[in-house]
Amino acid sequence: MSDDVHEAYIRQLLEAHQVPQVTIAWQGGEPTLMGLDFFKRSVELQKKHRKPGTRIENTFQTNGILLDDAWCRFFHENNFLIGLSMDGPRELHDFYRKTREGRNLRPGLRGGASSPGPPGGIQHPVHRELEKRRSAPGRLPVLPGRAGAHYIQFIPIVERDNETGCQEGDRVTDRSVRPEPWGAS
């Protein structure tokens, strides 16, 4: 995205809101792939185009793979609310999250002595494998101690099984959570 398009996007987004608080949600794919400089520029543009009296909140959904101390310092200094996607304890998180080469992917959200971790939460996808490993009826194997998160959100994974790749049809993949166990959780 060119800088002109980037600025036009932020300016138009802020102009379109007629309320005193604007939430900008960075998600879809993996936003860290845009690079830290892109988000530093985004914050500069938000400050430049913010209407007087408007509060801007940035939320950021990530798998955490590319996060390091520089990212964490930036998030903390700019009050980003972070959502870290984790599927539970290591063995469950690693069950579906693999690279093309078959290596496991582990999130890296952390803070060092000079970079406290940003406020945030865990977005905990619930898929079929979690159903198989429940410790008791109605209990999902979640992260011990919520991994220091301020919030936790459970998201049912329902993937349509079709050739189009779109969410249509009535067949779902084997990864999808079934309605009965989801409702009992």
pLDDT in tens, 89-103: 666 666 666 666 766
pLDDT score at 13: 96
Distance between alpha carbon 137 and the CA centroid of its chain, in Å?
28
Is the Cα torsion angle 146, 30, 95, 70 positive or negative in sign? negative
The residue count of the chain comes to 185
Enter the pTM of the model: 0.67
Query: Given the structure tokens 């939320």, which residue do they identify?
Result: 59
Q: How many CB atoms lie under 10 A from the CB of residue 154?
A: 15
Q: What is the mean pLDDT of the chain?
A: 77
Compute, in degrees rounded to 10, the torsion defined by CA atoms 68, 71, 73, 75: -140
Which segments of 87-178 does DSSP mark as H helices, in order?
90-96, 128-132
For residue 63, give Cα distances in angstroms to 27, 102, 134, 169: 10, 17, 23, 28
**Angstrom distance (rounded) from CA 61 to CA 29:** 9
Q: How far is CA 102 from CA 79, 97, 109, 175, in A?
A: 35, 9, 22, 17
CB 21 within 8 A of CB 53: no
Taking only the tens place, the pLDDT of each residue in 105-133 is 655 444 443 445 555 666 667 777 776 66
Q: Per-residue pLDDT for 143 more than 60?
A: no
Kindly state the percentage of the chain with pLDDT values over 70: 64
Residue type for position 72: C
Whether the Cβ atoms of residue 8 and residue 15 lie closer than 8 Å to each other: no
Instruction: Give the pLDDT confidence of 17-76 residue by residue, as tens digits.
Output: 999 999 999 987 789 999 999 999 999 999 999 999 999 999 988 878 788 889 888 998
pLDDT in tens, 150-181: 666 777 778 888 887 677 778 888 878 877 77
Task: Output the pLDDT for position 115.
Answer: 44
> Residue 10 carries which side chain, given as an amino acid letter?
I
Q: What are phi and psi of 153, to 5 degrees?
A: -130, 130
